């Protein structure tokens, strides 16, 4: 009887700790970011009660909206085993194009479209270089980041350009009830892109390319065309974020978007996505964004020097990568 129960694959008492360990790892891999977010909110709320006020929560969500829009595009790119370091440069250039085009009488009504098309065009350029010349996405988008940032500084002369189109101003400084429009826009984009990723062939191809590029190609996926769409999406979303910031400030600053590439990558990684592609969820990216913004807001309320924020962000990235590596080994 003992031999029969062993061969049938039944778990004995000695196997239960291993099963429990795997279950816990699976739970924290999937829901760990949410647990961390809730713990952070509780701890910061106890230290600084102002953190949990309605006005401050809206402030955190407002700041999170812009980062979430950029991070969602970054999620798609990372799922394909790529990276997009140009998003910060695209944000600054899109804002400058928005304001600059709005000063031209004929082009004024197309200023927003011009900014978004510019972002998508930069993304297409990134994908072309990656796929046509088989260059590393890190190298390509690093170069694009430098190019777009430099163009923005030259175009603006290093000074802010003031005045956004009236039809865009509401996006940055208006309200829908108690909520800024940027929050609602980020939510709508989150729902649309979530369906796109989880329920459509586009999402399936995105995961498949990241998991095994060559296998996806053999199954008939046009990898080049798909990557063109993914990077164009990332560039367009970065342009949307740049437009929102310019609308909020009623100006286009040449340094708009600085460090957003780092924060977007951090949000995606902290949210549980695999930096090497093929694994991740947008809900995880949302939690990652909120974790970063809650920490930044909490540090400001507590009174910790702002110059420590980047160091803490770097530690968050390291901890997230190390935790995921250990979890992968155990599983």
Q: DSSP per residue over 200-258, as a string? A: SHHHHHHHHHHH-HHHHHHTT--HHHHHHHHHHHHHHHHHHHHHHHHHHHTEE-TTTTT
Assess if residue 48 is contained within a domain: no
Q: How far is 206 from 238, CA to CA, in rounded Å?
A: 19
Give the up-direction half-sphere exposure of residue 160: CA atoms within 13 A in the CB hemisphere.
12
Count the Cβ atoms, other than its own, within 10 Å of residue 275. 16
Q: How far is 226 from 205, CA to CA, in rounded Å?
A: 8
Assess if residue 24 is contained within a domain: no
pTM: 0.92
Assess if residue 4 is contained within a domain: no
pLDDT at 330: 64
Lowest-pLDDT range, 191-195, 223-227, 315-319? 315-319
pLDDT at 26: 67
Do the Cβ atoms of 118 and 234 come closer than 8 Å?
no
Q: How far is 205 from 215, CA to CA, in rounded Å?
A: 11
pLDDT at 173: 87
- Confidence check: pLDDT of 254 > 50: yes
Give the up-direction half-sphere exposure of residue 294: CA atoms within 13 A in the CB hemisphere.
21
Q: How far is 184 from 193, CA to CA, in rounded Å?
A: 14
Assess if residue 324 is contained within a domain: no
Q: How far is 267 from 293, CA to CA, in rounded Å?
A: 10
Mean pLDDT of 2-12: 48
- Confidence check: pLDDT of 21 > 90: no
Q: How far is 297 from 210, CA to CA, in rounded Å?
A: 34
Q: How far is 315 from 268, CA to CA, in rounded Å?
A: 15
Q: How far is 232 from 77, CA to CA, in rounded Å?
A: 10
Assess if residue 129 is contained within a domain: yes
Q: How far is 166 from 164, CA to CA, in rounded Å?
A: 6
- Confidence check: pLDDT of 55 > 80: yes
pLDDT at 25: 65
| Tokens encoding 112 | 């927003």
Assess if residue 327 is contained within a domain: no
> Three-state DSSP class for 145?
helix
Length of the chain: 331
Q: How far is 262 from 218, CA to CA, in rounded Å?
A: 34
Assess if residue 9 is contained within a domain: no
Q: Which residue has the higher pLDDT, 315 or 175?
A: 175
Domain that holds residue 171: 55-258+272-280
Assess if residue 299 is contained within a domain: no
Q: How far is 146 from 89, CA to CA, in rounded Å?
A: 7
Rg (CA), the chain: 22
Q: Which residues contact 142 (CB under 8 A, 6 or more apart)?
A: 85, 86
Mean pLDDT of 179-202: 97
Q: How far is 95 from 75, CA to CA, in rounded Å?
A: 22
Domain count, the chain: 1
Q: What is the mean pLDDT of the chain?
A: 90
Token pair 């063109």: residue = 228
pLDDT at 14: 57
């Amino acid at each position: 009887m003992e031999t029969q129960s062993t061969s049938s694959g039944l778990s004995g008492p000695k196997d239960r700790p291993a099963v429990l360990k795997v279950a816990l790892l699976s739970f924290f891999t999937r829901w760990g970011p949410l647990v961390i977010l809730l713990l952070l909110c509780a701890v910061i709320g106890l230290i600084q009660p102002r953190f949990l006020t309605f006005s401050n929560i809206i402030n955190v969500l407002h700041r999170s909206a812009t980062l979430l829009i950029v991070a969602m595009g970054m999620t798609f790119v990372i799922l394909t085993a790529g990276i997009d370091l140009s998003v910060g440069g695209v944000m600054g250039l899109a804002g400058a194009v928005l304001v600059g085009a709005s000063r031209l009488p004929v082009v004024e009504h197309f200023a927003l479209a011009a900014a978004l098309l510019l972002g998508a065009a930069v993304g297409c350029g990134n994908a072309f270089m990656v796929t046509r010349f088989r260059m590393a996405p890190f190298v390509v988008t690093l170069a694009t980041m430098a190019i777009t940032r430099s163009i923005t500084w030259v175009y603006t002369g290093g000074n802010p350009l003031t005045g956004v189109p009236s039809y865009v101003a509401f996006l940055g400084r208006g309200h829908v009830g108690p909520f800024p429009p940027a929050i609602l826009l980020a939510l709508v984009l989150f729902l649309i892109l979530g369906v796109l990723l989880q329920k459509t062939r586009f999402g399936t191809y995105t995961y498949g390319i990241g998991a095994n590029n060559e296998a996806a190609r053999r199954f008939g996926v046009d990898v080049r065309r798909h990557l063109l769409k993914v990077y164009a999406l990332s560039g367009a979303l970065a342009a949307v974020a740049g437009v929102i910031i310019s609308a909020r400030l009623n100006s286009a600053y040449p340094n708009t978007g600085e460090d957003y590439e780092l924060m977007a990558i951090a949000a995606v990684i902290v949210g549980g996505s695999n930096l090497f592609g093929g694994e991740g969820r947008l809900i995880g990216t949302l939690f990652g964004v909120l974790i970063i913004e809650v920490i930044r807001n909490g540090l400001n309320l507590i009174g910790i020097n702002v110059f420590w924020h980047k160091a803490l962000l770097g530690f968050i990235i390291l901890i997230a990568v190390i935790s995921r590596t250990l979890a992968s080994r155990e599983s």
